[in-house]
Each structure stands twice: as C-alpha cells, then as structure tokens.
Structure 1
C-alpha cells in the first residue's frame, strides 16, 4: 500500500505541476510577444514586471505543492536583511536538480525573482525554454579550453554575453543566480577533480567575476547559500514521491567584493585575489555542511 500511495502522490504532483505550467505559460507567452512587438521602453518595463508576477505565481503554486504533497521541511536561517527591492548576486553549491525548486521556495517574493545562467541548448526545452527566454534568463554558450585554443577569437565572448544579459537587469531589481561549481556534485566528479573539499566540487570563479564586472555597480550584496540534504542527495522523483523529508538552507548576506577585481579578471593579480576569495568562501561552506551533518 505504501508503494501505491507513493506512486499516486508522485503522479498527482506531476500532473498538477504540468497543468499549472500550462496555465501560467499561456498568458506569459502572450505578454512576451507583446514585449517583442511593442518597442516602447516604458511599456516593456511594465510587461517585464507582469511576467515576473506570473512566474512568481507559478513558483508559489509549485512550492505549496511541495510543502503539502511532498511534505518536505525546508529549514532556513539567515534571511534577515534581504529585501525585494535590491539587486543581488546569489551563489550556491549544487548537489541535485532539487536545488532549483528549493531555492525558488525559499526566495520567492522575498528577494527579486531569481534568474539562472542557462546553457544555450536549453532554449529548446518545450514550454520552459520559451518561458525562460520571455523572463530574460541569460542563455550562455560555453567554450571548452580546447575550443578556445583552436579558436582564440572566441575568447572573451562569454564576458560579452554576460554583459549583454546583465544590461537587461538595470531597469528593475533582480537576483542573478550562479551555481559556482558549474555542475552537480557526484562522487565520480569529486574524485576526478581531486577536490580539496569534503562535500563540494571546486568552485569556478570566472562566472561570478563576469557578473560582478558586468553589473557590480548595481549590486547591493552577494547572497551566499549553502544547501544541505541530511538524507543524501535526492532526485526530482524523490521530491515528487515525498521522500525528501528535510532540506537545510543557510543564507548569508556578504558585501560585494568589487575591490578584488580592480584591473579586471584578465589581470593575473586580480584573478588571484578573486580566486582566493572564492576558495575561502568554499572552505567556509564545506565546514558549514560538515557541521550541519554532524
């Protein structure tokens, strides 16, 4: 009977989320088309706010569903001092696809709407890809070191793309989200990297530095988030089935470290200073996770 009840809960959650997605996506697409067709800045700003209201409503429904059907307890600390009318860069460890609905549940309507940097291929995801585009999520084309070695003319294109994306965020408060490790934690990835951290992969400082260079004058704070799953890293299916009993979320508001980037990230001394800052942040995060699990 427990297996049947779990399956029913998962199917019910999936169906309700699917219906809610379609209900919210249809007006979102209409507003997005108006935003494209009417080239009036003030009108577009109002449409952007309306699009965010729709997205927050969708997230609110999903979060409520997670709380009721999934019965997941999300324990949060450190939200004091965060506001809805400020600009933030949010950095976080990345353990599971569950991270995203957890972050949305914690921050929805408490800080400005979260925008994630997405791989360019994700724009083709049915329904969601168009929704992300309409909401001005930044789509990035990442180049490997081998590709840059063969095509040096591509070097710097990622920074240009970051600047173009962040330029859209000057008209209304935004929270730019960055999973600093660049990928989800797995045992294999941890071993391949020979990560010096017990519970984390090595951080990649470049993406954070690019956002700070592009919009550092706008940002009010860096919001450092540490996610801990006491039962181990869950899957989305675990979440839908109600098997994720508890998530612990520690939030810290930190000053924007713009002084570290004087000279730009291409400057060796500035890059070393900034990487030291990220590595220190990650050592503290690793200790936080260890303490939470002890």
Structure 2
C-alpha cells in the first residue's frame, strides 16, 4: 500500500467534484492506495483507512458471488471524520454514507459508521453494492427502491441511514393505508426522515417478499434482465410472470394479512394496555362514587330506631 498526503491540486479538486459541492468543500485528505481501491481519509482515521483497504477485496468477492457480476474497478472510498462537512456534501442529515456510481466513489461519515460493532463493514458493503449495480445497469432502468432493496439484502439488512430502524413500520403503513406506491420511488426517495425511513423499509421488505414467494435466486435474475435492457415491468414479467403493479398488489395483500395486524397490535401493546388500565381505573372510580352516593342516601334516611 502507498500512503501520501493530498495537499492541493487534482485529487482535491476531483474529490470536491465527486461530492457535488464545489470548491468550498475542498479539504486536505490522506491517501492509501492498492491496485483496486484508493482510500481517502481525514486525519486520525489511518487505522480505519487500513481496515477499509483490507475489507475491500473480501466485500467485493461476497457481492460478486451474491449477484454474479464483477465490480468495475478501481474504486475510491473516502472516510470523513467531520459530521458537519459530510452533511454539507451529502445534502442529507440522516445518512451515514453515500455512493457516487458515476465516479465509482463511496463516501462514509465515519463518526456514524463506526458507532456499532461491524456497522462500518456492512455500510461499506452496502455502498459498494450500489457501485456494482450501477456499473452494469443503466440508472434509468434501475428503480431506486430495487437499488436500495438489493443493497440491503446483500448487506444483511443494513442501510446507510443513521436512524433507528422499525421493523413494524411497513406493516403499520399497509394497515393504515400510508404505504408509498413503488412507482413514486422509481427515481428518488422522500427527503424527510420519516418518509425516507419508510421508503428504505419498504425496499427491504419487498425484496424479502420476492425471495420468500419466488425463491432466493429471483433478485439476481431480475437484475440480469435489467442489465439486458428490459425495464422493470418486462424484467418482472419474464422472471416471475407478473408486472410491477400486480407484484405490488400481491405484496400489499400479504402485508395486510394476519401477520401485519399482529405486528400492528404488538407494536401498540403498551399504549393499548395503558388505555385499558386507565379505562378500568375510571370505571372503578365511578363505581366507588356510585356506592358512596348510595350509602349517603341510606344514612340520610336513618330515623334513629334501633331494631
């Protein structure tokens, strides 16, 4: 591995261009290079950079085995140790990493990615999956929900969002009618944290549904059809014999099944118990008042006779 300090010039200029932020985002970055990956990193992150360089070939191998394609190399991984700077580059506050497929670049907010054990590994794998997919499928043919869902599937459910996950979110949305139509997630996700979290969870959930209903090899077959030039409806029709709208209808029906209602009530169990306890307490208090009123009437009628 070669290590050097990027001070000015082409590397910094390209780095800023990658991040869509213009010259104001210029920053000095250290560089660690191998034959397949260049790791740019802030000061105090040399150990993390060496970890990224060591993990890279392992993660690429796992992704290539899962999907069956080769990752176009070399790639660049940038590790940022400044949350404010990363937020200004990414344009969003709720993500811990972003991928720029057109530049084969992954940018990681290391202050968030290293919070939990193994999260850096899975976040890096998630972002590399985006590079692999976009290296073989034209972005116009790759729906965002499928892109995000496949990346979560290959990285054990991990997304790049820095928000608490909610496994009941999609079933609740299905039960309450707040689920987002998939075609609205073709080109982008909501910008709000609440909307983005639902979109991420939906993307993961529908891939899980496809695997459960049509087999574990189905996602890779759908991707292969997209690579051959089919759109998403044609790819789904070829692989699972139904277009997107019908797949979505079946998925929604599955979500609204008994399991979703159980999930919905389980999620709200504490609120239900609290309300039930409050109602029981109120009923008991009303009974107490009624009895006290009855006793008061009895006392008022006492004529002093001793029987």
TM-score (norm 1): 0.28
Structure showing greater relative contact order (alpha-carbon pairs closer than 8 Å, 6 or more residues apart): 1
Question: Rg bigger for which structure?
Answer: 2
